[in-house]
Amino acid sequence: MTIYLDHAATAPINEVAIDAITKAMRNLGNASSVHNHGRAIRKDVEDARHALSELVGASASEVIFTGSGTEANNLAIKGFYWKAIAANPKRKVIVTSAFEHHAILDPIQWLVEHESAEQVLVPINHSGFIDLDFLKDLIANRGSEIALISVMHSNNELGTLQPIAEVVKLAGQIPVHTDAVQSFGKVDFDFAKLDLTAATISAHKVGGPLGIAALILKRGLDLVPILHGGGQEREIRSGTLNAPAIIGFSAAAIHALENRTLNFTKVRKLRDYFISELKKAVPDCTINSISDPALPGIVNVTFPGTENDAMLLLLDSEGISCSAGSACSAGVPRPSHVLVAMGLTEEQADASLRISIGVTNTQSEIDQVISVLPSVIQRARKALDVSRLA
Amino acid sequence: MKLIAAMSGGVDSAVAAARAVDAGHEVIGVHLALSSNPQKYRSGARGCCTIEDSHDARRAADVIGIPFYIWDMAQEFHEGVVENFLAEYAGGRTPNPCLRCNEKIKFAAVLDRAKNLGFDGVITGHYAQMQETELGRMMFRAVDPGKDQSYVLAVLNTDQLAGAHFPLGDTVKDDVRIEAKKRGLYVANKPDSHDICFVPSGDNAGWLRDRLGSETGSIVDESGNKLGEHNGAYTYTIGQRRGLGLTVPASGGEPRYVLKIEPKTNTVVVGNHEALAVNAIVGDRAIWCGPVPESDTKYRGFAQVRAHGSPLACTYSHDGIEISVSLDEPLFGLAAGQGLVIYDGDRVVGSATVSRTE
């Protein structure tokens, strides 16, 4: 028996999405074609786009489909940067938070290394929120140099919901992008209400298929594309539209939003139960994630004296899947930059795990995890003690 | 048993892991990341520290059907192997980093970690044979003389060997490749690694010069007469004949060889071939791979001083710390720091690090 506690990495695909995709895959046609086959597919795609846009608080034309959340983030970062410097070469500063996903940090870093961009990281406080005072001062002092502000809607390792409305207010005329892949479908997220310039959402985090995501981009804005070709998606993202995936994305999102309150309550209850049992079973653990305002299912916890790669191996051998920070391209575990940004030492970050609970989890699964954790921690501690002595 | 298979991404470790699974063991594959920046020790398909190699290892584990993880051993490798390699050269010795890696990483850091995580031992794709005998577990040469790696494993003590598993020792390399192909392991035809994995260019001297500097010094004969200059004494090896760049020819016109490296004075001493002759070797840091021979007792056996060197008939003894070897026939060219491995027939008795020669 296996227990999946890594819903922030990817969530189980929903049956409604599987049905919608399966049906769509039987339909022939390229959505860009003018003939009846193409038109039929196009209609399904546009229906899906329309439904999705309503769920996200945008208009249909503001939804630009991409192949992944990473692609949408790259498009936003590079697109806004290129647009800004074309209009005013002094706008070279990209502002983001210190604990963004690598799909934001790495394209910025690429622009720093190759195109003379300047990155400014907004610090994170000990509770896992961005420092708004820092941002306010930065905008006051260097606002005219800023090309884009990109701050995630919720952090993927901590779950903390960031004050995006305040960021947008402070930004004034500066474009604001938010990576909302963890938030969309789980908590309230409304593009128009937040008055955002751009946002990223992704299907596989809400019970949809892999390989489809969207950049929500304010109407009337053009971005310099990364992919050139057939001119699909407002000429911002060329490439044949992945109709079945788009239709599956929409079906999953509709289902997630319809059940959002129910799911939120259920997942949060499981999370609170897990935390209370965890504190009893492993009294010296430290919970790094706060419960509110946050996503309902993420628990980030430090088990002092352990290394997370040993913990993951031991939990995996018990059939339990969860995760730690990120790994480099060769797969070498690295201390979580998220936890380091919020003030943990590298040693503490190395000793931390992210458990992300989803709606398919049960209390008995949580009980089972709690029952094996003390012996797993004991073995992981022993392994670390020895490597320190060596 | 529950075993960790150390998987480099090469064919040998993949087949070793597969055989352990067939034997009924519970096996988990682990790739050791030996550089914090995998590009740093990058060496294409030949080395063991690239992104491609970690992917190859993962793919092999998937085909075999075992869980797979990457363990970050970069710090241990750097401190235990790379820094030691540099320090040994800086001290005028000629170290073998593969021996060191087996001793300090694969069968120390990895084995200890495995045991503490609840595993019984470590499997590698090394070519050597372990056999249970009346006198305990002992290590023997592999059946494939061209691939035998018992030399680089002779630094393992009996505790380490108790947790070491070498499933390939009874097979020749060609058959391992055939078996890999049959098993659907696409690394079946991957080339062997030969170079020192952290010196991917194979340019050992250049690598050392970049890190230790290139201070000019004298090349002298045995009487101290200056014959030329060099750019870093440590880039020479004992017995080296080519590339000396001597400006003063030998009186008889005979070739000259590096006899000695003196790091303190940054001097390289050269002489004729006869002067390289070694009849007796003393090694320290004695390690026994099986029963400890009686001290101060003379035994007949074979000494080997290079990974693929010939076994040399000898008489050996030890005093608990040092192993002394008297060779039947002289050996030409041996540097301090090299591994001295003692064999009793095909059985590995133990090893020491060459400290002086006569």
| B275-285 pLDDT per residue, tens | 999 999 999 99
Identify which of B50, B58, B70 has the shortest CB distance to residue A332.
Answer: B70
B138 in any annotated domain: no
CA dihedral B38, B42, B47, B53 (to 10 degrees): 50
Give B136's pLDDT tier (boundaries 50, 70, 90).
Answer: confident
**What average pLDDT score do residues A372-380 get?**
95
Is the pLDDT at A326 greater than 70? The verdict is no
B197 in any annotated domain: no
What is the DSSP-derived secondary structure letter of residue A340? H
- State which residues form the domain around B267: 214-271
Give A328's pLDDT tier (boundaries 50, 70, 90).
Answer: low
Angle between helices A36-56 and A243-258 (to 10 degrees): 30
pLDDT at A146: 98
- Of the ranges A353-362, A376-385, B248-257, B329-338, the best mean pLDDT one: A353-362
B73: nearest CA in chain A? A332
Rounded-to-integer distance, Cα B69 and Cα A387, Å: 18
Same domain, B88 and B184: yes
What residue type is assigned to position A25 of the chain?
A: M
Identify the weakest region by mean pLDDT among A233-237, A244-248, B74-78, B160-164: B74-78
Rounded-to-integer distance, Cα A369 and Cα A275, Å: 12
Is the pLDDT at B247 greater than 80? The verdict is no
> What's the total number of domains in chain B?
3
pLDDT at A390: 47
Rounded-to-integer distance, Cα A32 and Cα A36, Å: 11
Same domain, B177 and B252: no
B197 included as an active-site residue: yes
pLDDT at B244: 80
Q: Any alpha helices (H) in chain A, and if so which ranges?
A: 15-25, 36-56, 69-87, 102-115, 132-142, 164-171, 191-194, 243-258, 260-281, 308-317, 337-341, 346-350, 363-389
B35 in any annotated domain: yes
Same domain, B282 and B229: no
**What average pLDDT score do residues B48-65 get?**
86
Query: If you write DSSP's letter for every residue of B160-201 in order, what string do you get?
Result: HHHTEE-TTTTS-HHHHHHHHHHTT-GGGGPPPP-S-TT-TT
**B70–A327 C-beta distance less than 8 A:** yes
Q: What is the CATH number of the domain that holds B53?
A: 3.40.50.620
Rounded-to-integer distance, Cα A94 and Cα A107, Å: 11
Same domain, B177 and B37: yes
**What average pLDDT score do residues A135-140 get?**
98
Same domain, B62 and B175: yes
**Interface list for chain A against chain B, based on CB atoms closer than 8 Å:** 309-310, 312-314, 316-317, 327-333, 379-380, 382-383, 385-387, 390
**B31–A383 C-beta distance less than 8 A:** no
**What average pLDDT score do residues B172-190 get?**
94
**What average pLDDT score do residues A79-100 get?**
97
**What average pLDDT score do residues B140-163 get?**
94
**A331–B54 C-beta distance less than 8 A:** yes
Indicate the average pLDDT of chain B: 89
Is the pLDDT at A28 greater than 80? The verdict is yes
- How distant is the alpha carbon of residue A155 from its chain centre? 7
B130 in any annotated domain: no
**What average pLDDT score do residues A330-354 get?**
89
Same domain, B175 and B264: no
**A387–B38 C-beta distance less than 8 A:** no
**pTM of the model as a whole:** 0.88
B49: nearest CA in chain A? A330
Residue intervals of chain A classified under CATH 3.40.640.10 are 15-258
Same domain, B20 and B61: yes
pLDDT at B240: 87
Is the pLDDT at B48 greater than 70? The verdict is no
Look up the ipTM and state it: 0.84
Same domain, B226 and B177: no
Give B253's pLDDT tier (boundaries 50, 70, 90).
Answer: confident
pLDDT at B42: 43
Identify which of A314, A330, A386 has the shortest CB distance to residue B112.
Answer: A386
Is the pLDDT at A152 greater than 70? The verdict is yes
Rounded-to-integer distance, Cα A384 and Cα B344, Å: 38
Q: What is the CATH number of the domain that holds B285?
A: 2.40.30.10
Give A185's pLDDT tier (boundaries 50, 70, 90).
Answer: very high
Is the pLDDT at A389 greater than 60? The verdict is no
pLDDT at A83: 96
B337 in any annotated domain: yes
Give the angle subtended at the CA of A163 by the CAs of A176 and A73, to the nearest 5°: 40
Identify which of B31, B50, B108 has the shortest CB distance to residue A390.
Answer: B108
**What average pLDDT score do residues B96-119 get?**
91
B132 in any annotated domain: no
Identify which of A313, A328, A387 has the shortest CB distance to residue B112.
Answer: A387
Best mutation target, A387, A388, A389, to test chain B (most B CBs within 10 A): A387
Rounded-to-integer distance, Cα B54 and Cα B10, Å: 10
CA dihedral B233, B234, B239, B243 (to 10 degrees): -60
Same domain, B340 and B245: no
Same domain, B287 and B223: no
pLDDT at B41: 45
**B35 touches B199 (CB < 8 A):** no
Q: Across the beta sheet with B164-165, what order do the strands follow?
A: B68-72, B26-33, B2-6, B121-123, B164-165
B48 included as an active-site residue: no
Identify the weakest region by mean pLDDT among A40-44, A362-366, B104-108: B104-108
**B69–A313 C-beta distance less than 8 A:** yes
What is A15-258's CATH topology? Aspartate Aminotransferase; domain 2 (3.40.640)
pLDDT at A325: 72
Q: What end-to-end distance do the CA atoms of chain B give, in Å?
A: 47
pLDDT at B37: 58
Active-site annotation holder among B49, B101, B289, B314 = B101
Same domain, B292 and B173: no
**What average pLDDT score do residues A11-17 get?**
97
Strand, helix or coil for residue B26: strand
Cα Rg of chain A (Å, integer):
22
Indicate the average pLDDT of chain A: 95
Is the pLDDT at B81 greater than 80? The verdict is yes
The values of phi and psi at residue B176, to 5°, are -65, -40
**B70–A333 C-beta distance less than 8 A:** yes
**B129 touches B172 (CB < 8 A):** no
Q: Any alpha helices (H) in chain B, and if so which ranges?
A: 11-22, 51-64, 74-77, 83-90, 97-101, 110-116, 150-153, 158-162, 173-182, 204-212
* Minimal C-alpha gap between B4 and chain A (Å): 11
**B271 touches B291 (CB < 8 A):** no
Same domain, B63 and B171: yes
**What average pLDDT score do residues B137-143 get?**
95
Rounded-to-integer distance, Cα B289 and Cα B137, Å: 9
Identify the weakest region by mean pLDDT among A75-89, A210-224, A357-371, B222-236: B222-236
Residue intervals of chain A classified under CATH 3.90.1150.10 are 260-389
Give B45's pLDDT tier (boundaries 50, 70, 90).
Answer: very low
**What average pLDDT score do residues A308-325 get?**
93
Is the pLDDT at B39 greater than 80? The verdict is no
pLDDT at A387: 58
Q: What end-to-end distance do the CA atoms of chain A give, in Å?
A: 36
Identify the weakest region by mean pLDDT among A238-247, B80-89, B125-134, B208-217: B208-217
**B107 touches B287 (CB < 8 A):** no
| A260-389: CATH number | 3.90.1150.10
**A310–B72 C-beta distance less than 8 A:** no
Is the pLDDT at B170 greater than 70? The verdict is yes
Give the angle subtended at the CA of B114 by the CAs of B111 and B120, to the nearest 5°: 90
Give B49's pLDDT tier (boundaries 50, 70, 90).
Answer: low
Identify the weakest region by mean pLDDT among A267-271, A329-333, B266-270: A329-333
